[in-house]
Structure 1
């Protein structure tokens, strides 16, 4: 079973993936295929190990916008180290704990199995994708080791035996709260559904109509569909009509038969689940697009040019909080929002995931799911790359962020001057 699934993953990556032409010859599937066969013969191959091998193979394509996971989020194979870290200088600071109880927020990892963070960075260039330290993702690297040397908050050193735990199930957050009489904080952790955002806006409709300051926190936004946040745009732009160019989002879809079928089925499911008429029309247009172009390979989606936003006087001032954990549709939201004269982006650059985007998932036996990009941006032909949307006001991440929301304080200080 495992080898058959892996062979199909390879086929998808070498034919259906939107970057397959740009990255032809980058992958070395035989190396991973041999590991799968050998481990299977030895009786050492299980679902978790297989998922790790496939994700290591996907690293060959140097694209963070794809992943291979357990289809059931609550599956015992869906495991991680039980905490999250972020790098600052020569240490990895624990930013959040979930299942691991022997480590605390603020503790810092200074070595793994005797290797310093700088040594580990050189060893795991592939996994870390040569990102700047504050943008590096270390959790998968830590999974490969047995012991972590920890410097505790009291400066004492201890050794943590690393373990794997069932992952915490993701709980989306679409919420707004008053910070003071003239400031509303809206937190959006994804753009998967238009209904949840619509509810937040409806619940605060009267507030929005005469609001001075709005802060939108998308620092941990997982993306989704840009159609889901379309209803927010009217609040982001000033009163009157504003023309917004989408020329930098011209893209081509690689519409193989397999990808077309997956896209159509996925879009039809979304169509059935939503009641928002504008969103339904967008989904219907995309279904027609894939149906009429099935099997044609790369086809341009006519999504360039300008579109008009009818803005509003309120909120008067808007801050968008951004970070590297905001990606995909989150990248696009920060980009579009930042074009408004009412909006100031504060924090750090977004993930920058949209060179290859519009992910679709291929499932196997309700056990595994491969998410891979199906569209390619035309700007790649000019040698341009998506490196994330830069903030207007950059705030360096530091361990101080673990105990105080420095970004939010910066936003409130900034708005206090408006």
Structure 2
């Protein structure tokens, strides 16, 4: 049985010394309430894996960085699970927005209480940052609901209690698709990778003939910068060198002794593979040289981009609309950020997650029970006082009506058709 109190101190030390985003939120950093709760429970012999897991997740959530993750590893006593539904906060209630397995619920059902208490009880008792945001409509209650026993649901004026169930967590397949609707090429992008590059290349004629374009990034959380380049001709309004496009996109990486040691340990597992061994050994050698250097600027050249190459826009007179939501993350946010500076583009939806500000995650396993993932790089251009995500030109508040019709797509089509482009 691990000493959870000592383990928490190790996690706090990692956040303060090795986490790339700490400097941006250190004024809010206060682990003392969690130290007190964990310490008190330990002294009373009431500290178990569930309580510890909850406390660490609440502590990490206060940073607002959803790239910081603390998870329990599968074992005989625990298997990863979901509640089988997703919610959005609206005022003083949660509204079921999606159902994935929980057949007792429907989209638009209202959750008016959790474990018999209204939402305001938890937001007043706990710090709001536990839900990742001070703004109600950007709060994420998924993790909190996984710790609850029951919810009170209201539908058509009738309310009843539902004991929460656990559904096995499964991998969600990420796909990219292209359709043409009303002369608009609509790319629904869930992962910016080689499959997207191939899709764009295979449908180049279709994209070039379309009157305008929509890039739907609502469910896009993963990808690679190099794969993003295939979309830039439809985002930029004039020829631009790669180095200019990526200006400000450089990364600052924190090469502490501990970060390098942990990354090297991960890479050593790759050396047994003959195909991966050469690059793994090269990376290990580089990390050994950088250990203890602190912050190092990773330039565009480090990403393998040709700095002098020109990116040529395709039909710059045509409009491109991008749809983002609070789950749009990573490279998709970088793309949205670039589009926000292009006169031909209109961003529709909701401010993105802000997860693109930190990246390059390291995974640490504690006692084969828990895993901490934390980023060791942050964007050079990130300032502590700036918005955590990319803002939209047309900000649209979520309402239950979105369960019935795709309001963001309707707005994006209107923006893509706009004649007075720029």
Give me the TM-score of the superposition, normalised by structure 2.
0.80
The whole-number CA distance in structure 2 between the counterparts of 1:259 and 1:225 is: 22
Does the aligned pair in 2 maintain the 1:215–1:320 contact within 8 Å? Answer: yes
Quick one: which of 279, 293, 300 aligns to 2:290? 293
**CA gap 1:267/1:306 in 2 versus in 1, 3 angstroms:** farther
Quick one: which of 23, 33, 39 aligns to 1:34? 39
CA deviation after TM superposition for structure 1 residue 298, in Å: 1.7
Q: Which residue of 2 aligns with 1:235?
A: 234
Does the aligned pair in 2 maintain the 1:348–1:396 contact within 8 Å? Answer: yes
182-191 or 240-249: bigger deviation: 240-249
Q: How does 1:10-409 map to 2 (within 5 A)?
A: 10-20=12-22, 23=26, 26-28=30-32, 30-31=35-36, 33-34=38-39, 37=42, 45-46=48-49, 50-59=52-61, 61-70=63-72, 77-124=79-126, 125-152=128-155, 154-180=156-182, 182-191=183-192, 194-238=193-237, 240-241=239-240, 244-263=244-263, 290=287, 292-303=289-300, 308-313=310-315, 316-363=318-365, 368-379=370-381, 383-409=384-410
Does the aligned pair in 2 maintain the 1:32–1:57 contact within 8 Å? Answer: no
The whole-number CA distance in structure 2 between the counterparts of 1:320 and 1:80 is: 30
The whole-number CA distance in structure 1 between the counterparts of 2:88 and 2:213 is: 28
Does the aligned pair in 2 maintain the 1:246–1:306 contact within 8 Å? Answer: no
Does the aligned pair in 1 maintain the 2:365–2:372 contact within 8 Å? Answer: yes
CA deviation after TM superposition for structure 1 residue 370, in Å: 1.7
The whole-number CA distance in structure 1 between the counterparts of 2:118 and 2:107 is: 20
**CA gap 1:415/1:295 in 2 versus in 1, 3 angstroms:** same
The whole-number CA distance in structure 2 between the counterparts of 1:169 and 1:341 is: 38
CA deviation after TM superposition for structure 1 residue 68, in Å: 1.2
**CA gap 1:308/1:372 in 2 versus in 1, 3 angstroms:** farther
371-380 or 96-105: bigger deviation: 371-380
CA deviation after TM superposition for structure 1 residue 307, in Å: 8.1
CA deviation after TM superposition for structure 1 residue 137, in Å: 0.5
The whole-number CA distance in structure 1 between the counterparts of 2:61 and 2:416 is: 42
Deviations 1:264-319 (A, max 9, x none): 6778999xx9xxxxxxx9x9998886454222112233359998532222793211
CA deviation after TM superposition for structure 1 residue 250, in Å: 4.5
Does the aligned pair in 1 maintain the 2:322–2:348 contact within 8 Å? Answer: yes
94-103 or 232-241: bigger deviation: 232-241
The whole-number CA distance in structure 2 between the counterparts of 1:410 and 1:268 is: 50
CA deviation after TM superposition for structure 1 residue 109, in Å: 1.0
CA deviation after TM superposition for structure 1 residue 79, in Å: 1.9
Does the aligned pair in 2 maintain the 1:27–1:60 contact within 8 Å? Answer: no
CA deviation after TM superposition for structure 1 residue 86, in Å: 0.3
The whole-number CA distance in structure 1 between the counterparts of 2:117 and 2:341 is: 44
CA deviation after TM superposition for structure 1 residue 210, in Å: 2.3
**CA gap 1:175/1:286 in 2 versus in 1, 3 angstroms:** farther
Number of matched residues? 403
Aligned CA RMSD, in angstroms, stands at 3.8
Give me the TM-score of the superposition, normalised by structure 1.
0.81
76-85 or 2-11: bigger deviation: 2-11
Does the aligned pair in 2 maintain the 1:263–1:360 contact within 8 Å? Answer: yes
CA deviation after TM superposition for structure 1 residue 337, in Å: 2.2
The whole-number CA distance in structure 1 between the counterparts of 2:38 and 2:232 is: 47
Structure 1 unaligned runs (5+)?
Answer: 274-280
258-267 or 218-227: bigger deviation: 258-267
